[in-house]
């Protein structure tokens, strides 16, 4: 399931308020500054800092 482009354009990282991008397999949103992945479940981005997964270096 894909996320709506208009929604993606207005979402920001809840931690740093910076830009986020869709990851390559379209399963989450990535904040490069915070190095966090926010999962997308059933087409809904889970934008909770406590639910975010740290990206591996």
User: For residue 32, what is the domain's CATH number?
Assistant: 2.20.25.10
Asked if 13 contacts 31 with a C-beta cutoff of 8 angstroms, the reply is yes
Helix (H, G, I), strand (E, B) or coil at 36: strand
User: What is residue 18's predicted lDDT score, i.e. its pLDDT?
Assistant: 96
Q: Is 54 exposed, middle or buried (0-12, 13-18, 19+ CB in 10 A)?
A: exposed
The domain of 11 spans: 5-54
User: What is residue 33's predicted lDDT score, i.e. its pLDDT?
Assistant: 97
| pLDDT tens string 17-49 | 999 999 988 889 999 999 999 999 988 899 999
Tally of structural domains, the chain: 1
The model's pTM: 0.87
């Amino acid at each position: 399931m894909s996320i709506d482009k208009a929604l993606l354009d207005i979402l920001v990282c809840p931690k740093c308020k910076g830009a986020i991008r869709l990851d390559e397999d379209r399963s989450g949103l990535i904040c490069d500054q915070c190095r966090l992945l926010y999962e997308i479940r059933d087409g809904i981005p889970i934008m909770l800092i406590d639910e975010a997964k740290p990206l591996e270096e």
